[in-house]
Homo-oligomer: A and B are copies of this chain.
Amino acid sequence: MYNATMLTKLVVDLLGRCGVSHDDAAVTARALVAAEMRDIPSHGLLRLTDYIRMLRSGRINTGAMPEIVHQTASTVTLDGDNGLGPVVADKAIRHAIAKAGDCGTGWVAVRHSNHFGIAGHYAMQALPHNMIGVCMCNANPLVAPTFAAVGMMGTNPLAVAIPAGKEPPLVADFATAAIARGKVDLLHKKGLPIEEGFVQAPDGKPSTDPGILTRGGSILPLGSTRKFGSHKGYCMAAIIDIFSALLSGAAFGPFVPPSVAWLPVKKDLFGKGTGHFFGAMRIDAFLPADHFLSGMDRWIKTMREAQPANGAERVLIPGDPEREAEERNTRTGVSLQEKVKEQILNLCRELKVDCPL
């Protein structure tokens, strides 16, 4: 079991050896370690090898200087200069928070960025300012629009963090697809079939083969099929793609560059890099903060105390499982998957960093 401080230092050391500044390495390490602590390992240290491969091959800009290309009183358009996603995202949410401080709300569209880890990590940065935080991101294409045979959009996550008074904050953070790619891959590795309603074959027919994604198949939107509302999941993914890419000048839908080193660089015809969209809303721009915070406490208690469905233990508030994991992992330390440990040992060897794992 490893503690967050040790893991953070390790990531900082490794990124430092690739020429990343101490500050940028620390911001990136915090994002990846936050995912581990919140039990979302698919967005944690598993990503470090790709980040480092892409930094070392020049696909990610080591010394990127993100730049404001346009702004109004409540908006910023940020060019990430092809930097590490967490570095760009951290700057972007700070701009959103500053704008919200000035005029009630702040909204930041970001182009030419890269994979940034968990969206919730950035949305949550608004919480100590008594603001609601919003974060969206597009991603390389894997999800088919309703009625389409092929993956045209990413799993495009949305995170919204909302402060409460005595209760812990509500943190919604979810992909707009029916299932995460990681879960499909896990079934594939185990040689198990996947139930209908999650993936489809390259001709758009339903499939129960989790290996289909490696052979031109695609993931279905949230809602699975038209009958069960996949057009709503498709709408969500579309809105997130457009806010992230079209408002910023990033690449959209099928043109979004891959976030892994083993996929080739695309000829990026329309737009620059991965896109994000951030928001911050000062709660006292709408109502006295106390009024809102006690209202949120009431909302949370009301939902938490709702009668559980037959067979269910309790009703959860968005963010409960991740917060509870973080509390537990802070006490006990967090474990790493064997595969990830091995990857990190290799990185340490390659970059001549003493490995504490």
- Which A residues contact B (CB, under 8 angstroms)? 70, 72-75, 77, 102-105, 107, 109, 144-150, 152, 160, 162, 170, 172, 174-176, 178-179, 195, 197-198, 200, 203-205, 222-224, 227-229, 231-236, 238-239, 241-242, 245-249, 252-254, 270-271, 281-283, 285-287, 291-292, 295-296, 298-299, 302-303, 306-316, 318
Residue on B nearest A111 in the bound complex, by CB: B287
The 4 closest A-B pairs by CB, nearest first: A204-B309, A72-B104, A73-B103, A172-B235
Shortest CB–CB separation between residue A168 and chain B, in angstroms? Answer: 14
A-B contact pairs, 24 of them (CB 8 A): A74-B74, A75-B285, A77-B286, A77-B287, A103-B103, A148-B306, A148-B307, A150-B306, A152-B306, A162-B239, A175-B232, A203-B309, A204-B311, A222-B222, A231-B318, A235-B318, A246-B292, A247-B283, A248-B286, A249-B291, A249-B295, A253-B299, A253-B302, A253-B303
CB distance from A165 to the nearest CB of B (A): 11
Contacts of A204 in B (CB 8 A): 307-312
Say yes or no: B77 contacts A147, CB within 8 Å: no
Q: Smallest distance from the beta carbon of A200 to chain B beta carbons, Å?
A: 7
B residues near A162, Cβ cutoff 8 Å = 239, 242, 246
Supposing A285-B74, A303-B152, A309-B204 touch, asked if A107 and B104 sit within 8 A by C-beta, the answer is: yes
Question: How far, in whole Å, are A308 and B283 apart by their CA atoms in the complex?
Answer: 44
Do A309 and B229 contact each other (CB < 8 Å), given the known contacts A74-B104, A105-B74, A174-B235? no
Copies of the protein in its oligomer: 2
> Are A197 and B73 in contact (CB-based, < 8 A)?
no
Contacts of A309 in B (CB 8 A): 144, 147-149, 200, 203-205
* A178 CB contacts on chain B under 8 angstroms: 223, 228-229
Q: How far is the CA of A318 from the CA of B231 in the complex (A)?
A: 8
Contacts of A248 in B (CB 8 A): 286-287
User: Across the two chains, which residue of chain B brings its CB closest to A201?
Assistant: B310
CB contacts (< 8 Å) of A254 on chain B: these are 302
Identity of the chain B residue whose Cβ is nearest the Cβ of A144 in the assembled complex: B309
Q: Which residues of B are found within 8 Å of A286, using beta-carbon distances? A: 70, 75, 77, 109, 247-248
Closest Cβ of chain B to A115, distance in Å, is 21
A270 touches which of B174, B298, B307 (Cβ 8 Å): B298
Taking a contact as CB atoms under 8 Å apart, the answer to whether B307 and A150 are in contact is yes
Question: How long is the Cα–Cα vector from A111 to B245 in the complex, in angstroms?
Answer: 33
| Chain B residues within 8 Å of A174, by CB | 229, 231-232, 235
Chain B: minimal CB distance from A178 (Å): 6
Interface centre among A74, A174, A195 (most CB of B within 10 A): A74
Q: How far is the CB of A286 from chain B (nearest CB, A)?
A: 4
Measured between beta carbons, the chain B residues less than 8 angstroms from A315 are 145-148
- In the assembled complex, the CB of A215 is this many whole angstroms from the nearest CB of chain B, namely 16
Docked Cα-Cα span, A102 to B105, in Å, equals: 13
Residue from A178, A179, A223, A286 having most chain B Cβ neighbours under 10 A: A286
A66 to chain B, nearest CB (A): 16
